[in-house]
Amino acid sequence: MQTTPGARQGTAVQICNPSAGRRLLFVLVILSGSFLLFLVQPMVARIALPRLGGAPGVWSSAMLVFQLLLLGGYAYAHAISRFTIQRQAWIHLGLLSLSALTLPITLAQIPPPAPGWEVLWVPALFAATVGPVFLLLAAQASLMQRWYAAGSGSSNPYRLYAASNLGSFAGLLAYPFWMEPEMTLGEQTRAWALGYVVLIAMVGLAAASCWTACDRADTSEPNQKVQPMTRSRLLLWLALAAVPSGLMLSTTTLLTTDVMAMPLLWVIPLGFYLLSFSVAFSDAGDWARILSRAAPVPLLLAGGLAMISGGQANPAIAIAMVALLFVLAVALHGRLYALRPPASQLTYFYLVVAAGGALGGTFTALIAPVLFDWVYEHAILLLAGALLIPQFALLPFLGRFWQTGQWAGTVALLLVLVAAILAWRLAAAVEVGLGSQILLLVCAMTVVGLVLIGKRWAFTAVLALLMLGHGGLSTLELSAAGARSRSYFGVYTVQVSDEGRTMQLTHGTTMHGRQWLDASRRHQPTAYYGRSSGAGVVLAQAKPDARVGVAGLGVGTLACYRKPEQNWTFFEIDPQVVHYSRDGTFTFVTDCAPQANIVIGDARLELAAGPSKRFNLLVVDVFTSDAIPMHLLTREAFDTYGRALSDDGLLLVHVSNRFVNLAPMVSALSKAAGWHGRMRRDTDDLGEGLSQSEWIVLARSKKRLDHLESASPLPWEALPPAASHAWTDDSASLISLFRH
């Protein structure tokens, strides 16, 4: 035991002797805690998917809960930091041990949500499932840094935050690439529980290493002056933490809307977000300085694309958005690190950072979907980032001019006006698709923006104008015309297409159906549902008195295959989609199947709750945009479908997808269930208004399937080789099914 030299007279600060072993122990404890913390996030979301489906909002809701629990963890760490190290250790170890009694993790049983209340119900489900252990793990990083700072001669404790985020990053990568493909959910939860118990033991060792340290709460650095906590400084901390957090979620929304809700895509933006802390919270800081200086360039080039409707479906733009997230997060977190307080205020600093993260998550996950009918929050957060990032002028004389030049304000205003003219020309070029002009005008606006680096308001104004000119005006026009709507399940756009001949529904960037506006053609099947498609062939052969169930309404195109004596039931999870058929936007259902029953809710849950053998034909067409609700393609789901079908019933599954080859998985599921199947690829000689499609039809009896095929006017083919593993609710991974 020794007393810190230079401590205030009468205020002895007891500290423990440092050692390389002690430093390594704290690094391992912090890294392990963060590894478990971020391993559990995708795991819990994956456990919940059978109840929540594949909506992009699921992960945003999950992340919001995790951020709020993280805030609670930091608040807890800050609250107990006023006690002695011994008392902190007893409290923390006791609570960790009590929370271990809730393991292994199982999904909380709470009543299902009423339609439209998913935005609150999903966070409640996650909080009830993983709340206690997550909150305590969330406290680990700041609490362990506080304990480490008690050591004599301990180096900068903030550096351990980099270890925390490396552990988090490792946990995120470990789940989709190791744990999910190799373990069932039951094995995952048991392995995680074992890791949690090991962590408790490691925390005990860390506590023992400081057992005699700091028998008083005061561990402030005697030679380091504590700056007063001003309101402006607090607000700046909050903003610097909130913007990257919100951007991480909005980038995730852009990715998952048109690919799939799966851990691999969930963790990409989150992983880069966490990695930005490791880069920024470093004393060396070389990469942080380099990326901070370079940040305005990708912000103009990639951020200028942020308001293009459907731009995120382009893989190159999606990659650019993720890269931009990382660069901006490093720049903003680097500025946050530069404004850090002394170690005596460490837990308070992290509490404010967590509060900022929760604010950013709340804005993106809860407020923006209510305020906006499109993902405008992404563009807003990019503009906020432009106002907050460190700005270093490209040339020294420009920096001096923008700071002290007599005519700086006037010149900046003139350059913004030039950018406005260029943006107007750019919008006109985008409307008619003049590629060379678009490139030239974007380059010109980028040059103007680069010249204005160092004049924050002017630089941000040029970025906003670039967004508006490069697709933003047309995006705003669709919103102003009332062509868009937004629900928990995504963004929908209804607009006239095909040179004014059809009305089309788009979810994200995926067309979900269209209807001819010409009265003589309004009942003609379109898109993926033409008469030559698998759906068209099977429905045309259905018995006159068949009972037909359709999971997924879309615009209701299939309704016009209904025969007069048939009984039809549609299952649709999103009330907004049902609204389009009931308000006359699309008239397939009202014209062709006015007596059809429309059930609002998750198709799998509704089928499981209904009577057995209720349908002769069940159509599964439930994909949200191009996302895959994995819980509808598992052995348990197919057991539910089989129960709902009559003995000679047919199961028809729509497997068209741009990114994932689903046919081998359906083949594996049919093989596991003892079903027989055929596949219909409708890709050649398509008629007007039709789209390429792939459908699979399954039957329990080979004789029933042979009869269907022999009566079909169009050829069917054998199912492709089955995937090596048929998905179950307990074990599923999409990695092997990606199209090359």
CATH of the domain at 38: 1.20.1250.20
Please state, in angstroms and rounded to a whole number, the distance separating the CA atoms of residues 51 and 45. 10
In this model, does residue 164 exceed pLDDT 50? yes
> Residue 365: what pLDDT?
81
Whole domain around residue 413: which residue ranges? 396-480
- pTM of the full predicted structure? 0.79
Question: Are 400 and 362 part of one and the same domain?
Answer: no
Question: Are 158 and 270 part of one and the same domain?
Answer: yes
Out of 388, 415, 430, pick the residue that ends a domain.
Answer: 388
Out of 360, 388, 416, pick the residue that ends a domain.
Answer: 388
Please state, in angstroms and rounded to a whole number, the distance separating the CA atoms of residues 272 and 329. 9
Question: Are 313 and 437 part of one and the same domain?
Answer: no
Question: Are 411 and 372 part of one and the same domain?
Answer: no
pLDDT level of residue 548 (50, 70, 90 thresholds): very high
Q: Is residue 47 part of a domain?
A: yes
- For 271-303, b/e burial (b = at least 16 CB within 10 A) is bbbbbbbbbbbbeeeeebeebbbebbebbbbbb
How open is the CA angle 124-130-371, to the nearest 5 degrees?
A: 35
Question: Are 266 and 401 part of one and the same domain?
Answer: no
Q: Is residue 487 part of a domain?
A: no
Please state, in angstroms and rounded to a whole number, the distance separating the CA atoms of residues 735 and 176. 8
Closest CA to 34 of 112, 140, 123: 140
Question: Are 178 and 311 part of one and the same domain?
Answer: yes
H, E, C per residue of 183-249: CCHHHHHHHHHHHHHHHHHHHHHHHHHCCCCCCCCCCCCCCCCCCCCCHHHHHHHHHHHHHHHHHHH
Q: What is the pLDDT of residues 270-320, one digit of tens each?
A: 888 888 888 888 766 678 888 999 999 999 999 998 888 755 556 677 788
* Beta-carbon contacts of residue 262 (< 8 Å; ≥ 6 apart): 176, 256, 628, 630, 734
What CATH number is given to the structural domain containing 542? Answer: 3.40.50.150
* Beta-carbon contacts of residue 42 (< 8 Å; ≥ 6 apart): 172, 175, 176, 180, 263, 266, 267
Question: Sheet containing 717-718: which strands, arranged edge to edge?
Answer: 597-600, 567-572, 547-551, 615-620, 645-654, 693-699, 676-682, 717-718
Q: Is residue 721 part of a domain?
A: yes
Q: What is the pLDDT of residues 552-598, one digit of tens each?
A: 999 999 999 999 999 999 999 888 899 999 999 999 999 999 999 99
**What one-character-per-residue DSSP string does 598-632 give?**
EEES-HHHHHHHS-TT-EEEEEE---STT---GGG
Question: Are 313 and 348 part of one and the same domain?
Answer: yes
> Residue 1: what pLDDT?
36
Q: Is residue 544 part of a domain?
A: yes
Out of 353, 388, 423, pick the residue that ends a domain.
Answer: 388
> Residue 27: what pLDDT?
86
Question: Are 255 and 163 part of one and the same domain?
Answer: yes
Q: Is residue 515 part of a domain?
A: no
* Beta-carbon contacts of residue 157 (< 8 Å; ≥ 6 apart): 145, 146, 148, 149, 343, 346
Q: Is residue 617 part of a domain?
A: yes
Q: Is residue 516 part of a domain?
A: no
Q: Is residue 661 part of a domain?
A: yes
Please state, in angstroms and rounded to a whole number, the distance separating the CA atoms of residues 614 and 605. 15
Both tokens of 466, joined, read 């670039």
Question: Are 282 and 372 part of one and the same domain?
Answer: yes
pLDDT level of residue 116 (50, 70, 90 thresholds): low
> Residue 7: what pLDDT?
36
Amino acid at 487: S
Q: Residues 239-268: what's their mean pLDDT?
A: 76
Please state, in angstroms and rounded to a whole number, the distance separating the CA atoms of residues 419 and 461. 9
Question: Are 402 and 442 part of one and the same domain?
Answer: yes
Question: Are 375 and 454 part of one and the same domain?
Answer: no
Q: How many domains does the chain have?
A: 3
Please state, in angstroms and rounded to a whole number, the distance separating the CA atoms of residues 37 and 25. 18
Question: Are 595 and 642 part of one and the same domain?
Answer: yes
